[in-house]
Amino acid sequence: MTIAGSDPGGGAGLQADLKTFAALGVYGYSVITQVIAQNSWKVGEVEPVSSEMVEAQLDTLALEFAPRALKTGALANVGVVKAVARAIERLKLPAPVVDPVIVSSSGALLIGPKGERAIRKRLIPIARIVTPNIAEAEVLTRIRMDSDAAIREAAKKIIKLGAKAVVIKGGHRADDKYATDFFYDGRTFVELKGPRIAGGGAHGTG
């Protein structure tokens, strides 16, 4: 199950999640949190779904089949974040993969400061793994991501918030040759390095 915003271009959001699920051979449920008017280079308008409607989607789906895995994406606002956290606990859903979507690749703010604080206090403590990019990790930890040491320190701070593991994605770092993600589970650091694929900054690449 993905709990996320809608991207009509299909590069990000629940549409990208569902395509990924299908490519991996699993059936995907989706709960929509916000409708976003965007294309590959611009976010136009953002309209949140009410927290009551988000919770109703989760309740109705859970009546039929409890998902075996769960991830969250863009969660619109503090009300939606709290509704999702409540539903995960109340319905005994799997510990989520939390992608703390705060700012789009084009720079548009997708959740405010209150929502960001709710992610930190309500969702990260119940997360199986948290997957921020560099900018999101900076917001969550207030640590400037200007070195490998800073990234490792931020990963430790996110683990201290309660997550079982964290992957800080390195795609936004100024390195033309490699994209290096940093995994940390509270015990071991692993660098996941791959060749950077040239492109025009397409959204959804995280």
Is 153 domain-assigned? yes
Is 206 domain-assigned? no
Residue type, 141: T
pLDDT at 174: 73
Q: What range defines the domain where residue 87 resides?
A: 2-195
Are 46 and 110 within 8 A, CB to CB?
A: yes
pLDDT at 204: 73
Average pLDDT, the chain: 91
pLDDT at 170: 86
19 pLDDT above the threshold of 70: yes
Residue-wise pLDDT for 77-92, tens only, equals 999 999 999 999 999 9
Residue-wise pLDDT for 120-157, tens only, equals 999 999 999 999 999 899 999 999 988 999 999 999 99
For the packed helices 148-160 and 134-141, what is the interaxial angle rounded to 10 degrees? 60
Domains in the chain, number: 1
Average pLDDT of the segment spanning 168-177:
80
Is 205 domain-assigned? no
How much helix, strand and coil, in percent to the nearest 5, is found in the chain?
A: 35, 25, 40
pTM of the model: 0.92
Task: Identify the CATH number of the domain in which residue 151 sits.
Answer: 3.40.1190.20
> Residue 179 — pLDDT band, cuts 50, 70, 90?
confident
Q: What percent of the chain has pLDDT over 70?
A: 93
Q: How far is CA 28 from CA 5, 9, 48, 70, 182, in A?
A: 15, 18, 22, 10, 27
